Amino acid sequence: MVIVLEKNIRDEDKQRIRVFLEKNSLRVNEIAGDEETIIGAVGKVGIDPREVEILPGVQRVIPISKPYKMASREFKRDNTVVNVRGVKIGGNRVTVIAGPCAVESREQIMESAARVAESGAVMLRGGAYKPRTSPYAFQGLGEEGVKYLREAGDAWGLPVVTEIVSSDAIPAMRDYVDVYQIGARNMQNFELLKKVGALGKPVILKRGLSATIEEWLMAAEYLLSSGTEDVILCERGIRTYEKATRNTLDLSAIPILRSLTHLPIIVDPSHAVGVRDKVPPMSLAAIAAGADGLIVEVHPTPNKALSDGVQSLYPDQFEKMMRDIEVLAPVVGRAVSRRSIPRTGSITGVTGVVRKAGGPDQPIVCAYSGGRGAYAEQAIRRYYDEEAESLPVTNFREVIHAVLEGKAECGMLPIENSLAGSVYENYDNLARYEDIEIVGEVTIRIEHSLLVVPGATIDSITSVYSHPQGLAQCDDFLSHYPAWKHIETDSTSGAAEFVAAGKDPSRAAIASETAAPIYHLDVIKSGIETNPRNYTRFVVIARSGEIVSDAPNHASIIFTVANRPGALHDALGLFMKNGLNLTKLESRPIQGEPWKYLFYANVSLPEGVSSSVVSGERIRSALSQMKSMNQDSGIIQDVRILGLYTVKEII
């Protein structure tokens, strides 16, 4: 059974509940979440749940009907996200684990780690102890292989995954392995499951050769009940009568599992099909089916591999597959996990933000979309009072990738303009990338100018270039020149750079006046925006948990509500009840679910309230009540805080 505790339960009441359950031969597992604490009680239930429900401190009791208790969706409604040294598996991410079937030498695993890391893998796999069908096949390097694997993982910032075939290997593996893998042959080796679960580390549990989904989940239950909270299910194909592939990859298991369990699900297409050319299409199919990630075999020289060379990808094949995954992931509402190379040290700026940086004398690096002179670059200089180094990239998604990969500590994204409205692409990006959060906000005035090459005039212009927002914000001015052709660019600074490079007097750019000297252009006319009260609101983003605001006064939240009368009204009422101002509400369609919408809400503290403690308590209280409405009535179906931060008004 699942026992939901009251929010302000006393320690003595909690201990009394624990003692009562243990006296009735139930194994007790406490799970403390941000919003509520639950106790999972598993074992042969010989008591009436109502006896538990009347105990002081108990909010409600939820019986679990499934034979797998802790792995069931009844035990935990929210999807589990497994955190392995900063790499997260589950949620909205596609996490790719890659490496050779077996560690063959130090040189081989070091080269493998380099190639897969450069292509986008975020974890390194490799077998040190190899259970082989033939006793004469390569059995692995054992403890020496585990050490090589650890060295390669550390060199490239990759957590390591390796299979454990016997509890006798635990002493040799304990200090080197981040994630233990239970192979298909050992899925029902219950004594091994108990001992590995007791280690408390994350475990990848592969489906047995002929195991049913329920048998697979019962094996996961052994791990969970033995001590680990982090189990990752891995579909690797099952044995059928078909001989065309090594196994039959059961992708139908993914949506079925999603309804039955909260555990993350990954897929091993290498062992499923057994032929390298079939691995990429099945990898894409797995992601389309809803998998949280992949574990793929990649070898520098597969034709020389000592184990499973036929199914191992060449590094170039893996790189192409990762590019294809990058294209597919947004289509199914996912984001590909990125490897982060953290910079060391910390530095505190005048904005009251504590942030990571490359050292006490090195400025923070902030990425933005566009080139020199872009409005986002101006926002960076204003927000950080000239103390940040600007990193230009090609588009908004690359800003996020730069932050996730550690190329920049933060990023600057436009989110709304007072004339042209919301930048919907960035609203969608914030929802998609769960490892990114908002850590600050700044508003700047936008003043557009018409820029041309030296010698050009108004009469020589036939086409004007700018970002779509820039064109929209100068609509009144442009209406006076109906013959001009409007051409969209990725950024206003990109438009200025393009016009400068072409040296064509018939072209003009709408951009900031500050871009003119940078690109050696002349300003024909300034202040051409339709409304002089033209402002753009930018948000500062960072990798989750890496930047903390001293005194947050704003929060951004996304949530969905049930399709029933009054659902949105009831959800928004929680902000008022908690003394929060609702300053922004935006809806966006949910991909793949016609006529269903995701709501974005910005809330702030009333004037005169600035305590970070008060802010945090009020916002978290509203969030807790939202989640309670999810569990109790289903009015709110999903909710997540995008950021708790400080707004810096610069206009």
> 2-62 sits in which CATH class?
alpha beta
Average pLDDT, the chain: 87
User: pLDDT at residue 278 above 80?
Assistant: yes
> What is the pTM assigned to this prediction?
0.78
CATH of domain 82-336: 3.20.20.70
- Can you give the residue ranges of every domain in the chain? 2-62, 82-336, 448-533, 551-651
C-alpha to C-alpha distance for 225 and 62, rounded to whole angstroms: 18
- Measured over the CA atoms of residue 456, residue 460, residue 463 and residue 466, the dihedral's sign is positive
DSSP code for 343: P
Angle 427-354-619 from CA coordinates, rounded to 5°: 50
Segment 321-325 long-range contacts (CB within 8 Å, at least 24 positions apart)? 321/279, 321/280, 321/283, 321/284, 321/296, 322/96, 322/119, 322/120, 322/121, 324/280, 324/284, 325/94, 325/96, 325/120, 325/283, 325/284, 325/287
Distance from C-alpha of 325 to C-alpha of 333, rounded to nearest angstrom: 12
CATH of domain 551-651: 3.30.70.260
Q: What percent of the chain has pLDDT over 70?
A: 91
Of 145, 118, 109, 119, nearest in space to 130 by CA? 145
- For position 616, what pLDDT does the model report? 63
The yes-or-no verdict on residue 469 having pLDDT over 90 is: no
| Residues labelled catalytic | 536, 538
Q: Do domains 2-62 and 551-651 have the same CATH topology?
A: yes
Report d(CA 234, CA 267) in Å as an integer: 5
Rounded to the nearest 10 degrees, what angle do helices 190-197 and 213-226 cross at? 40
- Residue 163, pLDDT above cutoff 90: yes
pLDDT for residue 441 is more than 60: yes
The CATH number of 448-533, from 3.20.20.10, 3.40.190.10, 3.40.50.920, 3.40.50.720, is 3.40.190.10
**Cα–Cα distance measured from residue 184 to residue 166, given in angstroms and rounded to the nearest whole number:** 13
Which range of 18-27, 116-125, 128-137 scores highest in mean pLDDT? It is 116-125
- 593 or 197, greater pLDDT: 197
Convert the pLDDT of each residue in 355-413 to its tens digit.
444 444 568 899 999 888 889 999 998 888 777 899 999 899 999 999 998 899 999 99
